[in-house]
Every structure is written in structure tokens, then in C-alpha cells.
Structure 1
Amino acid sequence: MKSYIKRNQRSLKIAALAIVVGLVPVTLSSQNFKLSNGEGKLAVTGTSTLHDWEEVAEQKSGSLQVDISGELPKIAALKFIVEAESLKSGKSAMDKNTYKALDTDSHKQIVFQLSSIKEITPVPSSSNKYKVVANGNLTIAGKTNKIELPFDLTVNGEKASLEGKKGLKMTDFGIEPPKALMGTIKTGDEIEIHYNTIWKK
């Protein structure tokens, strides 16, 4: 009886070891990255009746999880966060109008959360660059909309980059385009988000 129990215990240990060994490649192939705030750039551009404008995000964060074990990488998770009041234009009056339009007293962050990957294709003549179209939820000023986010993904050892641009309308998020000087200067409804972001392990 004792020898039977020992054989069973040995078999269970071998089976457990086989399961763990089988899982190791999957675990190792999944890479986790954090957005580097001090590198790259995320900016919002738009128009007005006076001039074009740009606001740059000074505080951004996020997480990215990529599995590179197959022919094409699999993006398991992606989240962008921009602190709304870190958007700076270089003009304090414009920034003040922006924060009022975004209702930053109540809604501190702008957030994109990945829900699925619609498409991913390799870039010709590049071994680690891919064109991606991601589906996700974008929350601005407290309102969440489903959007498609296009970007180029590059994974190179300890570092990854996401680069692209996305057009949006303020009114789709319940935001009234800011005005200045008693309404004589009006901001256009359409804006464009430009992102060239660096992510590190």
C-alpha cells in the first residue's frame, strides 16, 4: 500500500511539473510595458477662427501587454491615461477655457481602454513593426464612446512604441467647443490626437 501511495505521489509530481513546464513559454512570451511619461509626445491639435492650436499632455501613463510568441504579436491589454489639466498650449487663457470645457473639476482624466484588436498586419521590410487597429472605450469629460484607434506598434527588446493619430469631434463627447473674447473667437469642433509614445518594461 505504501509503495502504491509513493508511486501515485511521484506521478502527481511529474504531472504537475509537466504542466508548469508547458506553461513557462506562454508566461515568458507575454511582455508587460509601462508608458514612459518623459519620452515621446501626445498632443491634441485643432483650429479656431483666429489660428490653429496645439495642446501637449505633460502627464500621461499607461500599461501595455503584448504576447510575441506567434507569427503576429497579440495585444492582450492596453490602457492610456492623460491627466486632463496637464494639457498645455503655452497660453494660460486658452488652457483655462480648455479645462472649463472638459469640466476638469469633476473629470480629472482622459482614458482609453482596449476592448479588442480589429486588425494587425506586419509592415513590409520590418521585422518588428506592425499596423494595428484597436477597438476600445475612450472617456473624455465623463462621457465614454467606443472608437477605433489606429497605430503603428514596434516591439524591440525592452522597449515598445505606439505611433499614430485619431480624429474626433468634441460634441461627440458632450463638449461645447471653447470660445473666447465674448464669443468672437470660436474653436472648431474637430480635433486630432497625435501620439508617439514610448513604453518600457
Structure 2
Amino acid sequence: MKKLFLFLGIILPSLMLQAQKDFDTENIMILPDSELIIAGSTNVNKFNCVFDISLISGWKKIRISREERFLRFHELYLPLRTDGFDCGNKRMNSDFQDLLMCDKYPEIRIKINKIELFPGEYNKAYVSVELAGKSKDYELPVLVSKEHFIGKFKINIRHFGLEPPKKALGLVEVDEMIEVQFNLNLDHQ
């Protein structure tokens, strides 16, 4: 039994070091001219809530592993403060923050897990979205280059335990499907 613990004590750290060596480190910056929008609609009109990119810009170290057709990312998150969205006016901003329960969950976290590379223009991104304390995985087409990360995907807010609000005595109803649109312009060091 002592030999087993000694063996594990020697092998596990070396395996962990090997796994860490498989990731390359890069420095990237999301540039201020990038866009991230949550678009939705009601039975009356459409709305766009635009995220303040300055809240996630700045240089960040990311760890990437390249294997066959995949780029795998180690703990690559976009932390989006719920109070960082502007929906066009104070009332809509307040309603949006209430919907997302920003007092209890002040952040939406988008984790980029991996990108599957295909010949041609578009690739496939595998992301996880954490919203209101729940997480859901998505696969979506993305346009990826050294300078851009562009795509969009739809989510059903009910999957996160959120109820679409009704306003004006129930005459205005928010659709449960919203679309996350992003056009991230990148710089590398």
C-alpha cells in the first residue's frame, strides 16, 4: 500500500506538469470597437441591450491547446456584469437587470471551451453560459481569425429558471428566446 502511495505521489505530479505543458499561453485584448449585444423582442417591438466592452477589455493571458481539428481553451471566461448592459433607457435597463436577478447574480459568465476548425469560413465553438446560477452548453457557428471572433446564438431564458416579464397589465410580453450577438475585435502580444 505504501508503494502505491509513493508511486502515485511521483507519477501524478509529473502527469499534471505534462498536462500543463500542453497549453500555450497567449496575450489577447478585446478592443474597444467590439460589440456584444443581447437582442430580444416583445409582442410589441424589439430591443437590444448593448454591453459596455470597456468592462472586459484589457490584456488577458489565455491558455490554448492545439490538437488535430480543435483549439481547446483552459478556463477562458468572459465575465459580463449584468449592470454593464444598456438597453436604451433607464426603465428598460432596470427591467433587464430585474429579469437577470442581478442583485443575486451580478454576472453572466460565458466560458469558451473549444473551437472545432473546419475548412472554409466558419468553425464551431463550444461554449457554456452561466446565468442566474445555472449553466447550459451551446454549439454555434463562429467566424474566427487572429483579429476577430464573430457569431451569435439563441438561448431560452426559461432554461435558466427565468420567467419572461409581462408589462402594462400583461399587454406587453417579452419573448422567452433571446439572441446573444458578438463581434469581438482582438489584438495579440
- Which residue number in structure 2 is paired with residue 76 of structure 1? 73
Query: Helix, strand or coil for the counterpart of 2:155?
Result: strand
Judge conservation of contact 1:43–1:57 (CA < 8 Å) in 2: yes
Q: Distance in 2 between matches of 1:142 and 1:72?
A: 32
Q: Structure 1 length as normaliser, TM-score? A: 0.70
Q: Distance in 2 between matches of 1:81 and 1:132?
A: 23
Deviations 1:35-75 (A, max 9, x none): 23x2210001111011011110114427544568x886734
Judge conservation of contact 1:31–1:67 (CA < 8 Å) in 2: no
CA apart distance, 1:144: 1.0
Determine which of 142, 152, 161 is the counterpart of 1:174.
161
Q: Distance in 2 between matches of 1:105 and 1:96?
A: 11
Determine which of 141, 146, 149 is the counterpart of 2:137.
146
Determine which of 146, 149, 173 is the counterpart of 1:162.
149
Task: State which drifts further: 169-178 or 56-65.
Answer: 56-65
Q: Structure 2 length as normaliser, TM-score? A: 0.74
Deviations 1:11-37 (A, max 9, x none): xxxxxxxxxxxx9xx88x75331323x
Q: Distance in 2 between matches of 1:114 and 1:71?
A: 18
| Residues 72 and 135 (structure 1), Cα distance of their counterparts in 2 relative to 1, 3 Å cut | closer
CA apart distance, 1:142: 1.6
| Residues 71 and 141 (structure 1), Cα distance of their counterparts in 2 relative to 1, 3 Å cut | closer
Supply the RMSD in Å over aligned alpha carbons: 2.6
Q: Distance in 2 between matches of 1:101 and 1:195?
A: 21
Gaps of 5+ in 1: 1-22, 124-129
Runs of 4+ aligned structure 1 residues displaced above 4 Å come to 62-68, 70-73
Determine which of 27, 31, 50 is the counterpart of 2:44.
50
Residues 85-104 of structure 1 aligned to structure 2 (within 5 Å): 85-104=83-102
Identity among equivalent pairs (%): 20
Q: Distance in 2 between matches of 1:122 and 1:33?
A: 24
AA matched with 1:143: K
- Which residue number in structure 2 is paired with residue 35 of structure 1? 30
How many corresponding residue pairs? 163
- Which residue number in structure 2 is paired with residue 184 of structure 1? 171
